Structures are given as C-alpha cells and as structure tokens.
C-alpha cells in the first residue's frame, strides 16, 4: 500500500530508519533530493533527505532524528502503519561524477546523507575520505558501512568517547595542513559544522558543497520559508537547492532562520507529551 512503512530500524538513541512504499517517488528520486511528509493530520510538513531508493521494490529509505513534536509522532509509526502524506522527489538532483579525491563530512543524523553521498562518489570511481562526527559515540551511525567504502575513515566525537575528541573541521584542517588535497568536499549536518568546514576549505580554494536543511512548508517554491542568501542573492533551498556552494552561503542568516521556531518547538513538544500547563 502506498506510504506504508515496510521496515523500521533504530540506528541510535532517537535516530530511526524507515523504508516506505512509494513507487512513484522511488522511480524518480536521484541523489541529493528530498521528500516532504506529514506523519498525521496535525503534524507539520517536514523535509527529509532520500537516503536510498529501490526502483524495483518501489521503496524509499528515510532516516530521521526525533527532536520535535512532528518527528516524535513520525517515530511512533510502526511497520504496516501509513504515513499520512508523502510528496516528492523535491529539490535538484546533485551531480555525481568523478572528481578525483573527495572528502565527505557528516554529523549526527545527517551521517545517513553523508553515507549515501560517499557510496555514490565511490561508485563513480572517486577516492573517498570520510569524516563523521557526533556529540557522543552511540550517535555515530553507519560506521561499519562507511568503513567499508571509504579509502580513509575518521570518527570524531565532542566528548572524545570515540575517535578524535573535538570537531570534524579540526580533523579536516589537520589533513589539509599536513599536505592532503581534495578536489571536492561535501558536507551535511548542523549549521555550525557546515560553516566551520566551509571556513577551513576556503583558504585552500577547495570546491565545497553543502546540503542545507532549511525549514520548509510546501517545498515547491510557494512560501519562501527556506530562503537563504547565496552569493548575495536570495535563493529558495527547496527549488534552487538543497545543495549550494558552501563558500557563497550566508551561514549566519541560515542558522538564525532554522532556529526561528525553537521556542514553539519546545512548547509543541511539551504539549504533545502532556507536560504543558495549558488545559486542553
């Protein structure tokens, strides 16, 4: 049945993978594209990157972290449940080609998207270095898969519970300072990670691509919720992106905009969990 969850797996605390039946999207989806879904009738429309798709099976794979009320609701859906609304594929497919030496950097739940990209880049013959980072060790997902496909593989944790203690940009900087060179750096994850990686590669003039996780409503260019300044020009992440040249992105503005509803997010979460003080 369309939109039915066929498979579900817990990848890390609060991080879940689902495989959803959607033959039309599976037939079309390309690397870098995303979908928008609504878990139930009251939920927000949320964008999620397509991690994998199976044309034959007619399924797409999504990975999400339960942070807000909407993702928590999505997390309560089990195998055989149906997602209320699912639309896509959205955004522009990214160009996957041979560049030579590439470095893929992901953080947290976005390591899933980094894995997808690393795999595709490896398949096209690139030499792939992967750096994955997270707050702590159990949030480092796709570790074994990435180890297999990467030519060099680094793990980084904020608390030092696994791999290097510190941040991914520091590891990248060390590599570059020690003479390592990349033809392309692809990074996805928290706004700070993408900004700091971009700052590291800029002096080396390395082409750097970011995949932005802007807030969205419709995802088709109607609302402009996802607007971001790229190279001094206003862009919509949904129709002009989601991938942009990192060196041109105004990260300060991007970060402010994705945190625009933090207060409401907290409130909605308290409400759905029955912890709020309001009466209904």
Partner 1 sequence: MQELEVRLKQIPMPELLVEERLRTFNDVPLGYTEEQALAEAARCLQCENPLCVDVCPLHIDVPGFIRLIRLGAFREAAERVREKSCLPAVCGSVCPQEVLCMMGCKNTLGDPINIGALERFVAEWELERGTSILKIPQPTGKNVAVVGSGPAGLSVATELTKMGHHVVIFEALHEAGGVLTYGIPAFRLQKKVVKQEIDYIRKLGVEIRTNVIIGKTLTLDELFEEGFDSVFLGTGAGLPKLLGIPGENLCGVYSLNEFLIRINLMRAHGFPHKSITPIKVRGRVAILGARGLDAARCALRLGAEEASIFYQRKVVGRADEIRRGMEEGVKFQSLTKPLRLIGDGKGWVKQVELTRLELDPQGKIAKPKLIPKKGSEFLYDAETVVIATEHVPNTIATGNSSKNIKITEKQGTIFVDPETLEATQGIFAGGDVVSGAASVIKAIEAGKRAAQSINKYLMKKY
Q: Indicate whether 280 belongs to the interface with partner 1 (CB under 8 A).
A: yes
What element of type H or E holds 240?
A: helix 237-240
Closest approach of partner 1 to the CB of residue 42, in Å: 5
Q: State how far the Cα of 120 lies from the Cα of 124, in Å rounded to an integer.
A: 6
Find the farthest-apart pair of alpha carbons in the chain and give their distance in angstroms, rounded.
Answer: 62
Rounded to a whole number of angstroms, the minimum distance from the CB of residue 33 to partner 1 is: 9
Strands, sheet with 184-188, edge to edge from the N-terminal-most edge strand: 164-165, 152-157, 127-134, 101-107, 184-188, 208-211, 243-245
Region 24-53 residues binding partner 1, contact defined as CB under 8 A: 24-25, 28, 38, 42-45
- Judged by CB under 8 A, which of 32, 89, 108, 189 binds partner 1? 89
In the block, residue with structure tokens 């969205």: 216
Sequence-separated (6 or more) residues with CB below 8 Å from residue 56: none
Phi then psi for residue 249, to 5 deg, are -80, 135
Residue with tokens 């900004």, as numbered in its chain: 195
Q: Which stretch binds partner 1 (CB under 8 A): 57-65, 182-190, 213-221, 241-249?
A: 213-221
243 binds partner 1 (CB under 8 A): no
Q: Restricting to residues 252-271, which ones interact with partner 1 according to CB under 8 A?
A: 252-253, 255-257, 260-261, 264-265, 267-268, 271
Using CB under 8 A, which of 12, 17, 69, 209 touches partner 1? 69
Minimum Å gap between C-beta 257 and partner 1 is: 6
Note the residues at the interface with partner 1 (CB under 8 A). Answer: 24-25, 28, 38, 42-45, 68-70, 84-90, 217-218, 220-225, 227-229, 234, 239, 250, 252-253, 255-257, 260-261, 264-265, 267-268, 271-272, 276, 278, 280
């Amino acid at each position: 049945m369309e939109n039915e969850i066929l498979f579900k797996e817990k990848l890390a605390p609060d991080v879940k993978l689902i495989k959803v039946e959607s033959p039309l999207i599976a037939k079309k989806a390309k690397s870098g594209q995303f979908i928008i879904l609504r878990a139930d009738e009251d939920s927000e429309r949320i964008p999620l990157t397509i991690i994998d798709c199976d044309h034959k099976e007619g399924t797409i794979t999504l990975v999400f972290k339960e942070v807000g009320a909407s993702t928590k609701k999505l997390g309560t859906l089990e195998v055989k449940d149906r997602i209320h609304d699912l639309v896509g594929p959205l955004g522009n497919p990214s160009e996957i080609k041979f560049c030579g030496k590439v470095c893929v950097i992901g953080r947290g739940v976005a390591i899933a998207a980094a894995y997808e990209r690393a795999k595709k880049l490896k398949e096209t013959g690139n030499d792939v270095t992967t750096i994955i980072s997270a707050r702590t060790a159990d949030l480092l997902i796709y570790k074994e898969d990435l180890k297999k496909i990467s030519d060099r593989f680094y793990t980084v944790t904020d608390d030092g519970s696994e791999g290097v203690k510190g941040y991914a940009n520091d590891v990248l900087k060390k590599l570059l300072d020690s003479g390592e060179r990349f033809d392309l750096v692809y990074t996805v994850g928290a706004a700070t990670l993408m900004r700091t990686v971009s700052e590291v590669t800029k002096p080396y003039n390395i082409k750097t691509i970011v995949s932005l996780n802007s807030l969205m409503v419709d995802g088709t260019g109607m609302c402009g919720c996802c607007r971001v300044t790229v190279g001094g020009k206003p862009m919509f992440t949904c129709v002009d992106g989601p991938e942009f040249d990192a060196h041109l992105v105004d990260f300060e503005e991007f970060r402010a905009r994705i945190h625009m509803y933090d207060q409401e997010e907290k409130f909605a979460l308290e409400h759905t969990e029955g912890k709020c003080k309001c009466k209904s």
